[in-house]
Amino acid sequence: MFIKIRYGNDELILCNPQCSVNNLLDSITTRCGMKCFGRILDLSDETGLVLRLNDHREEYADLYLKNHSTYILVEKQEPLNTTEEDIPLSPLSDHHALQDGYLTGYIPLLQNCSTLLPKFKLRVAIETASPLRHPKSPRPASKANGGHGPNKSPSRKTRRTKDTKTKTPKESR
């Protein structure tokens, strides 16, 4: 299993995502020559959807990445303490997303990204709260075996009793 990462001047590296997200991102930053302190890297698909792998650093990367797919290396900028209305319209304004009340920016690290991928537009998926799942109730007992479950013994009411006769004092010795 492998994935392709595009970055720089249309450079390409192959990575094995069958490891933790932490190890994968460390390997990518080292192999791409972007090992700078404080730089937060992430991946987006070819349409521009940021995967937010940093939120899942302890999980396996192959849960979030598709086999043989191509991803674009992006850099996450530090959150700005502003709102979307405060930012003037510019080419970079498309690469910002409001996250937790702060404006977070992402920059694609692939040069000429708009010409190489015409449909590429960076965006961040908004997480919605998933509905709570209730555990399923146990299945009702099957009627095929007399109303008893597979490992259950008959109840006291349906238990057959042996014919017992009263013992005489001689027999009890």
pLDDT (tens place) for every residue of the chain, 173 residues total: 899 999 999 999 999 999 999 999 999 999 998 887 778 899 999 999 999 998 998 999 999 999 999 999 999 887 655 555 554 443 444 445 544 444 468 999 999 988 999 989 888 877 655 555 556 666 666 555 555 555 555 555 555 555 556 666 666 55
SS3 content of the chain, % helix, strand, coil (to 5): 15, 25, 60
The token pair at 139 is 């299945």
**For the residues of 90-146, what is the DSSP string, one character each?**
-GGGGGEEEETTEEEEEEE-BTTHHHH-TT---EEPPP-PPPPPPPPPPPPPPTTTT
What is Dmax (Cα atoms) for the chain?
108
Q: Per the domain annotation, does 91 fall within a domain? A: no
Q: Token pair for residue 157?
A: 């009411």
What is the domain count for the chain?
1
For residues 38 and 155, give the distance between their C-alpha atoms in angstroms, rounded to a whole number. Answer: 67
User: Residue 40 is part of which domain span?
Assistant: 3-79+96-124
- Residue 172 located in a structural domain: no
Evaluate whether 8 touches 109 at the Cβ level (below 8 Å).
yes
130 within some domain: no
Q: What is the pLDDT of residue 159?
A: 54
Q: Identify the pLDDT of residue 9.
A: 93
Dist. CA 89–CA 94, nearest whole Å: 8
Residue 55 lies in a domain: yes
d(CA 173, CA 165): 16
Please indicate, yes or no, whether the overall pTM of this predicted structure exceeds 0.75.
Answer: no
Is 147 among the domain residues?
no
Is 21 within a domain? yes
Instruction: Identify whether 104 is part of a domain.
Output: yes
- CA 8 – CA 110 distance, rounded (Å): 5
* pLDDT recorded at residue 93: 41
Residue 61 dihedral angles phi and psi, to the nearest 5°: -70, -30
**Is residue 26 within a helix (H) or strand (E), and if so which, with residue range?**
helix 21-31
Task: Identify whether 157 is part of a domain.
Answer: no
